Amino acid sequence: QVQLVESGGGLVQPGGSLRLSCAASGRTFSSYAMGWFRQAPGKEREFVAGISRSAGSTDYADSVKGRFTISRGIATNTVYLQMNSLKPEDTAVYYCAADWTARGDYVPNNYHIMDYWGKGTLVTVSS
């Protein structure tokens, strides 16, 4: 089993930056592909970014490409989401999720199939 705890959310002005962290417990962290998802008030949860278990492959939603970067520290059991050039439409609760996989290059992008979830961290982009 994997437990996930997000941190790093907060209030930021448009154009600003934040870095979210997701700390994972469990000895099998390297067996999971990881993803960041977000949910704005009144909207469905959506994919933001994903990274393979090997960290060699990544994927991004079109709305964040070129602005967000996902990475993972294998030794630290942590996944990061660096968010730059933030926009008001990025305001949402951001969730970290894990998907067990035997494939080293698999990158998850569908929230329906994720195995474990954190409780989320709120990001508010406003002036």
Give the residue-averaged pLDDT of 26-43: 91
| Token reading at 21 | 């962290």
Q: Please report the pLDDT score of residue 46 as a whole number.
A: 97
DSSP 92: E
Q: Which of 117, 33, 119 is nearest to 72 (CA)?
A: 33
Residue 33's CB is within 10 A of a number of other CB atoms, namely 26
Mean pLDDT over the full length of the chain:
94
CA 72 to chain centre: 10
**Per-residue pLDDT for 97 more than 80?**
yes
* Cα angle for residues 61, 63, 65 (degrees, 5° grid): 65
- Of 16, 35, 22, nearest to 120 (Cα)? 22
pLDDT of 121 strictly over 90: yes
